[in-house]
Structure 1
């Protein structure tokens, strides 16, 4: 990722835009500190698709649909390997 100061970005805006259009993100700095990143429209739209939705449950459901493997992908041995085999800690409701 190339880095430009605000002054350099202003003076070389055409070059900066060309780099961004070619798929290279460009970082803009102010007094040596990171201030912004310039992305292509295509990359911005790709990232924007993953913005959280207003409805939390719909977001969770969509994530679960894509993130969870199906039962056919997990073997019995793999699932059994998740279990903790040690004895649990001693517990009593009474103090």
Structure 2
């Protein structure tokens, strides 16, 4: 997904995604919504001032679960100005 946005945004990798039991594309809506938190903050996240704006990027928004998991990590880290963007819904 990085390649989709690299020419548009100055990207910083701040989260690491753990592998799930199976890819989101292979899950139905109910399974997606039950997916546990899959992200962990990287040390670089703590180096960013909390007043910075955060934009979370995704390729396809289906249930929003991936974006909400990422959003939750940033919120718990103390960020207040968090937005999301996806190419398709």
Q: Which structure has more strand as a fraction of its residues?
A: 2
- Which structure is richer in relative contact order (CA contacts within 8 A, separation 6 or more)? 2
TM-score normalised by length of structure 1: 0.24
TM-score normalised by length of structure 2: 0.25
Q: Which structure has more helix as a fraction of its residues?
A: 1
